Amino acid sequence: MTAVTARAAPAASGIEKIRGRRAIVNRFATVTMWLAFLAAVIPLGAVIWYTVGRGIARFSYRFLTHSMAGVGPLDAGGGIYHAILGTVEQVLLASAISVPLGLLVAIYLNEYGGKRLTTGVRLLIDVMTGIPSIVAGLFVLAFWVLGLHKGFSGLAAAIALAILMLPVVTRSSEEMLALVPNTLREAAYALGISKWRVIVSVVLPAASTGITTGVMLAVARVTGETAPLLMTAFGSNFIHANPFAGPQESLPLYVFAQAGNAFQVNVDRAWAAAMTLILIVVLFYVVARLLTRRDSFNRR
């Protein structure tokens, strides 16, 4: 048995736990941080809770697979097939226009651009970010729909959405490309690989995850746009698969039109369509993430 000798408490040496005022400030900061976190999460949770809670009543397979053709003002039937079709086509078209363009601009800005031109282009892109969505819609209405006599169509809507997407895609892609370390580019140059090959095969793959996230943020933003669609896609009660001619429905337009009516059947349809809209954005996101996942190592 060894005797336990009581040790004298050592003098303060600067390694003790903080006490007094600093401890209070520390606790205060921790609590504030948690409150800020809750303040950010509660609205998100509430939006999803509300939408799903009210939308689930009307949500069904039948709702997803039928249009509003021949549905009277007081009928409880009808669905959103035509609106889903329109939204998916319009958003895919808008992405097909804005993603390649935005990516090429970002590559130019980050990998090639001279200083003066780059500053100018960046300024223009920032200004473009500030364009209100209804202005983009008006522009396409004046220029494309009326000016070029193209009429209402899904494509016209896609052009308006692409104008809104382009600056977001460009700036986020540019930032992701800037995050790729220069040592990687130099490693590739040192192997005698040409510049465009380095960009395509080394820089873009390294930045792909971040670029996808940026693109998805842009997609999520425009999928819910309503204002520009009023003047471009116009809306319709019928299934119209051709996005290149003729008025087309979309989910935001559908929600807008249904929610503007007084009857409960309309309001129920609006909530169910809103819920579908959220689901579609989530679905887009998951698919995009799966496509760019770095599992090429395990597949081969």
Partner 1 sequence: MAKRIETLGLSCHYGSHKAVEDVTMTIEPKTVTALIGPSGCGKSTFLRSLNRLHEVVPGASVTGEVLLDGHDIYGADVDPVALRRVVGMVFQRPNPFPTMSIFDNVAAGLRLAGAKGKGMADVVERSLRGAHLWDEVKDRLKKPATALSGGQQQRLCIARAIAVEPEVLLMDEPCSSLDPISTLAIEDLMAELKDRYTIVIVTHNMQQASRVSEMTGFFTLAGAGQPGVLVEYAETSKVFSRPDDKRTEDYITGRVG
Residue among 273, 297, 124 at smallest CA distance from 205: 297
Query: Quick count: other Cβ atoms within 10 Å of Cβ 91?
Result: 27
In whole angstroms, the minimum distance from the beta carbon of 288 to partner 1 comes to 17
**Between residues 209 and 226, which has the closer beta carbon with respect to partner 1?**
209
DSSP 261: S
- 259 by Cβ neighbours in 10 Å (0-12 / 13-18 / 19+) ranks as middle
Kindly state the smallest distance separating residue 110's Cβ from partner 1, in Å. Answer: 12
Indicate the helix (H) or strand (E) that contains 234: none
CB 96 → partner 1: shortest distance, Å? Answer: 25
Q: Please, what is the minimum distance in Å from the beta carbon of residue 231 to partner 1? A: 43
Q: Can you tell me the distance from the alpha carbon of 233 to that of 299, in angstroms, rounded to the nearest whole number? A: 42
Choose between 185 and 269: whose C-beta lies nearer to partner 1.
185
Indicate the residue among 206 and 239 with the shorter CB distance to partner 1: 206
Binding site for partner 1 (CB under 8 A): 181, 183-195, 197-198, 201-202, 205-206, 208, 294, 296-298, 300
Q: Classify residue 149 as left (phi > 0), alpha (psi -120 to 50) or beta.
A: left
- Count of residues making up the chain: 300
Nearer to partner 1, 5 or 298 (CB): 298
Nearer to partner 1, 189 or 256 (CB): 189
> Minimum CB separation from partner 1 for residue 173, in Å?
17
CB of 289 to partner 1, least distance (A): 16
Sign of the Cα torsion 290, 295, 298, 300 reads positive
Task: Output 16 or 295, the one with its CB closest to partner 1.
Answer: 295
Residue 204, classified by CB atoms within 10 Å of its CB into exposed (0-12), middle (13-18) or buried (19+), is: middle
Give least dist CB 172 to partner 1, A.
19
- Residue 39 main-chain phi, psi, to 5 deg: -60, -30
Q: Which helix (H) or strand (E) holds 158?
A: helix 154-179
Cβ closest to partner 1, residue 75 vs residue 186? 186
